[in-house]
Amino acid sequence: MKYSQFNSIIPYKDKFTLYNSFNQKFLIIDPLLKDLLDAAKHEEIDSLQEVHPTFYDYLKKEEYLVDKNVDEIQKVKDVVKQVDENLNSFLLTINPTMNCNFKCWYCYETHIKKSSLSVDMVDKIGFFIEKTVRRPGMHNFNVAFFGGEPLLYFDRDVVPVIVKLQQECIQNRVDYSVSFTTNGYLVTDEFIDFFKHCGIVPALQITLDGYKEKHDEVRYVSATRGSYDVIIKNIKKLLLNKFPVRLRVNYTSENIDDAYKIAEEFHDISTDIKSTFLLMDYHRVWQDAKVDDIGVIVGNNIEKIKAEGIQVKHMSPNNVRDSCYADKRNSAVINYNGDLFKCTARDFTTAKRAGYLTDEGDLIWEDNYLERRMNAKFNNKPCLSCRLMPICNGGCSQHALESLGEKEYCVYYGDEALKDEVVKTKVEEIIEALQLNEA
């Protein structure tokens, strides 16, 4: 046997936890067992069988120890292929416009004021939906509206696409869903009524930049008028209509301290509604990312939010079994002008496009882009020897593709202490899930 590459041992209270990132299991062990395991790792792992056969047999059964002939990297590759090459569903992201009613300092996009879907482009997207939904074996078709701000021209540009989606999916007995990534400022009663009328429950991701004062410094209507209060009001309206909302908190070292107060805005929403339809999701603004102790403050925020009866999540990687939408073969981003991309976290200029949508509704990937992207992972040497590979895998395929042929990289800067923090978060998530199941 051999000690799995994907094991980690970190302190846990007055003991230690042994975590395996492939199986995503953990075991609490006392210091004596940890010492025995360390000694066996540095000698011959099978020697543990003589010293503590029960412990050895358990580690073997739960695959903390694996057969020497097992190729653990190949096991990860097999999972990646199974997940990312699944052809039973399609995720289409549409940018109805690259215009926006705000201009956040960290936004990477170029806002184009008069950009919108033309009638011809709506037709082309409709042709694509029609063709894709009718493919043999297609079970799910999901449309996500991004931008720019996708609610700017909702009635004119978005509604016709949704009507076409619903018509084709019902006719072909394919499940479907609709989602929006929006700043939430333009949510109206008419928006909600449209979906209630057609029987669709959309999911919305709405972003806040910290608590009221800090948020209004970033997203404001005028020098004297912020947007925080309106967005909170609109989120409440969505929740009361039982529309799921992922409230993304974009945090920095400047706005994190009192970000937990956002949860207090929902005191007047019942616990049943909050716990079912609201999720707060913490993401650090990438321009502010650095090695520091901000994780402690984030942890304190999360505990205070949970105490308010709201689900909360911090970025915990699961990039293999729950990979990014853009890692999957059956996903595409169509810009308002027909330019084709895979990732929404980059600027949508024609010079950087990956392809285009034809008049007949076909996706044309230029320069073999799709295959190059699908094969971009597993080329970064540090990833191939990393204990977190089955949950990190070097980040997303966008990162892998942009780094291909360049210098080696690590999304955790090669810092083993940061990796230990990831392990700690994973263990805590498993414990929390077990407690919820027992409740």
Mean pLDDT of the chain: 93
Q: Which two tokens stand for residue 390?
A: 């089955």
Helix (H) / strand (E) element for 229: namely: helix 228-240
CA 390 – CA 4 distance, rounded (Å): 12
3-class SS at 231?
A: helix
Higher-scoring residue by pLDDT: 219, 387 = 387
User: How many Å apart are CA 133 and CA 141, to the nearest integer?
Assistant: 7
The answer as to whether 313 is a domain residue is yes
Count: domains in the chain: 2
10 and 117 fall within a common domain: no
**Full DSSP string of 111-157:** --TT----HHHHHHHHHHHHHHHTSTT--EEEEEE-SS-TTTTIIII
Question: Does 266 lie in the same domain as 141?
Answer: yes
Residues 216-224 have a mean pLDDT of 86
Beta-carbon count within 10 A of 9 CB: 18
Structural domain contains residue 253: yes
CA nearest to 137, candidates 83, 89, 82: 89
- In this structure, the answer to whether residues 358 and 395 fall within a common structural domain is no
Split at pLDDT 50, 70, 90, the class of 4 is: very high
Q: Is residue 79 part of a domain?
A: no
Residues 347 and 215 in one domain: yes
Query: 429 and 326, same structural domain?
Result: no
Which tens digit of pLDDT belongs to each residue from 349-389? 999 999 999 999 999 999 999 999 999 999 999 999 999 99
**Is 75 domain-assigned?**
no
CATH code for the domain in which residue 176 is found: 3.20.20.70
pTM, entire model: 0.91
Q: Would you give the end-to-end CA distance of the chain in angstroms?
A: 38
Range of the domain at 58: 2-70+375-438
How much is the pLDDT for 219? 87
Domain boundary among 333, 367, 401: 367
Clarify whether residues 194 and 255 are in a common domain: yes
Assess contact for 282 and 310: CB atoms under 8 A: no
Question: Cα–Cα distance between 144 and 146 in angstroms, integer?
Answer: 6
Other C-beta atoms within 10 Å of 237: how many?
Answer: 16
DSSP H or E run through 238: helix 228-240
Task: Note whether residue 80 is domain-resident.
Answer: no
For every residue of 60-103, DSSP letters joined together read HHTTSEE-TT--HHHHHHHHHHHHHT--SEEEEEE-S-S--S--
For residues 402 and 284, membership in a common domain is answered with no
Which tokens sit at 115? 């950009």
Both 241 and 274 in one domain: the answer is yes
DSSP state for residue 264 in the 8-state scheme = G
Domain boundary among 367, 394, 414: 367
Clarify whether residues 337 and 392 are in a common domain: no
DSSP annotation string for 18-65:
EEETTTTEEEEE-HHHHHHHHHHHHS-GGGHHHH-HHHHHHHHHTTSE
Per-residue pLDDT band at 106 (split at 50, 70, 90): low
Cα four-point dihedral sign 13, 14, 18, 23: negative
350 and 411 together in one domain: no
- Helix, strand or coil for residue 164? helix
Helix/strand/coil for 189? helix
List, for residues 172-194, the tens digit of each pLDDT value: 999 999 999 999 999 999 999 99
For residues 19 and 97, membership in a common domain is answered with no
Query: Which amino acid is it at 334?
Result: I
Task: Answer yes or no: do 11 and 56 share one domain.
Answer: yes
Note whether residue 62 is domain-resident.
yes
Domain assignment of residue 81, yes or no: no
Q: Of 309, 340, 367, at which residue does a domain stop?
A: 367
